A and B are shown apart, each in its own frame.
Chain A
Amino acid sequence: MAKLKKQIRIALRNCGFINPENIDEYIARDGYMALGKVLETMSPEETIEEIKKSGLRGRGGGGFPTGLKWELTRKVDAEQKYVVCNADEGDPGAFMDRSILEGDPHSVIEAMAINAFCTGASKGLVYIRAEYPLAIERLKIALKQAREYGFLGNNIFGSNFSFDIEIRYGAGAFVCGEETALIHSMEGLRGEPGVKPPFPSEKGYQGMPTNVNNVETYANIPVIILEGADWFNKIGTEKSKGTKVFALAGKVNNVGLVEVPMGITLREVIFDIGGGIKDGKKFKAVQTGGPSGGCLTEAHLDTPIDYDNLINAGSMMGSGGMIVMDEDDCMVSMAKFYLDFTVEESCGKCAPCRIGNKRLYELLDKITEGKGTDEDLFKLRNLATVIKDTSLCGLGQTSPNPVLSTMDNFPEEYEAHVKDSKCFAGQCKALMQYIIEEDACTGCTLCVRVCPVDAISGERKMAHFINQDTCIKCGACMEKCKFGAIYIG
């Protein structure tokens, strides 16, 4: 019950409740009424004002005020403008955009039309991951139905507003979540970001003013219009209004998408909604914001979740990935995992991100191999700080966060790896030692026979020893030992 009580469904309001391939079911739940209301009773300025008043901020990562973004695009004079939906969800562990497009595609279409009306655009583009075939299929069906019902096309709702939407496919590049890179990709170019300014609101797709919002942001729009900004801005904290969808994953009992009001604590999400840590293990950290975010600790569990609190804690909202970790997870390895991702996804345009992240990864690798030094820890921090400070786009400006946040929140783990060659979580293979407890060993020689590299020696019926230099830490001996005489030290 707790799982349901703490949740408020705005962005996910229709997911699972309607057949997404049937527009009538969307309409039955007030679908396209917001668009109708806007076109029939509101001016673009009034609509933008309403969105601004609602306090809605971009759900894709940065948290830029949505209404303000629309206004910036509106203010630029141009013959052609575009609105874009960023559905290139690339955060490992986050899939709310896919769920919305699969479960409620019309809410995005409706919101894009409202956005186009407000900004003065006549064309919309959805940039969607090619890896989401079902979402693409449902979006296509929804677009077709919306056109048939006259919600897209010429003179929508009998007004002089005309608008239609095309689909563009991503091709597997995380950096294309950055809006300038996304625009380049839609233009048939390498998805390398550009230096801002100029912002897309001035010069975007095809050099024209372009407003880019992500799926979840759009999904909020129709509700705000129908229920009013005042209803919406009562939910949440002072500077972060409404709800946020998180993809709860990792070592919790209940995994999946949750939509919670801003201001809820991590504890509520993990323990009340998520049902606590799996297998009765101890909570260690929660990672939010994916490769751009950081690891938060026990100390942060009661911090209300909103954009600013997460940033102050050294993480960020990101697109809503929330990975829970327990005592078996090594924080250095975690940082390394994210850096591995960033190294692979860096576009290569700017030097700090292209080379710096690679060097960060190598330093972390060295530490998990037990070869790190005190100086390496110093280098790690300086390098991470410089990458943040000098990288060209959001990817590089945030990629060191997993390193910095784990260094800040779990300094003892880094120290242990470097000074004592110890990995508390027992995850770093190179730091593990299989040790035979002399008293418990019966000298049965079973371990000797199973060892693939002949690292174990000892007389029959006498205590055995493992040669640590030869041992490859495969664990076969421990598995075979009938007396529980082998442990990891």
Chain B
Amino acid sequence: MASIKLAPSKVEKLKEICKKFNNDKGELINVLHAAQETFGYLPAEVQEIVAEELNVSVAHVHGVVSFYSFFTMIPKGEYPISICMGTACYVRGAEKVLDEFKKLLNIKVGETTPDGAFSLNSLRCVGACGLAPVVTVKEKVYGRVAVEDVKGIIEEYKSLE
């Protein structure tokens, strides 16, 4: 019946984060940002502890987490791939690039490969429209990506595995 599956050290870490924001429920979004930075994602257990610490209902926390696209309850891959689907990138063929990633990795947007290496996301305008279409892997930015480049980008990281 025990619900808390997190290691005690992680629970402590979370409580520290909440405390840093004075356990103020108005800071919920900042707390969630910090928690996601720490854990990589926001599993239900994390949300439950945040709710407890900030004295709000866990339904409220999940309501907020599920509202904002930046927050995720699925762990990201080691190399998160993001394809910009902003207008500029779209008109320069971002959709085809995205399709190629989907095909080669065999996952959908929002999913992570079974080995945990890659996750795929589309995002709205990274503000580098001059480089359209833009792909980011972790922090690295690839500009003017063509469908033919996709395989190479994946290989680049596969070789690091």
Contact = CB atoms under 8 A, between A and B. Distances in A.
B88 A168 contact: no
Chain A interface mostly helix, strand, loop or mixed? loop
B26 A187 contact: yes
B33 interface: yes
A190 B127 contact: no
A171 interface: yes
Interface residues of B, number: 32
Contacts of B87: 92-93, 249-250, 287, 290, 321, 323, 337
Interface string A86-109: 000111111100110000000000
A440 interface: no
Contacts of B71: 171-172
A270 interface: no
Interface string B95-131: 0000000000000000000000000000111111110
B33 A95 contact: no
A329 interface: yes
A316 B93 CA distance: 25
Contacts of B4: none
B15 interface: no
Contact of A95 (B85, B91, B123, B127): B127
Interface stretch (B5-13, B61-69, B73-81, B153-161): B61-69
Interface in A81-129: 89-95, 98-99
A250 B93 CA distance: 11
A169 interface: yes
A187 B33 CA distance: 14
A337 B90 contact: yes
A247 B88 CA distance: 10
B18 interface: no
Contact of B33 (A90, A171, A173, A174): A171
A138 interface: no
B145 interface: no
A190 B128 CA distance: 28
A93 B67 contact: no
B32 interface: yes
Interface in A181-221: 185-192, 206
Contact of A130 (B28, B70, B85): B70
A388 interface: no
Interface centre among A174, A188, A321, A347 (most CB of B within 10 A): A188
Nearest to A321: B87
A98 B127 contact: yes
Interface string A161-172: 000000011111
B144 to A, nearest CB: 12
A55 B50 CA distance: 46
Contacts of A290: 87
Closest 8 A/B residue pairs (Cβ): A95-B127, A188-B28, A171-B68, A249-B88, A172-B70, A92-B86, A172-B69, A93-B87
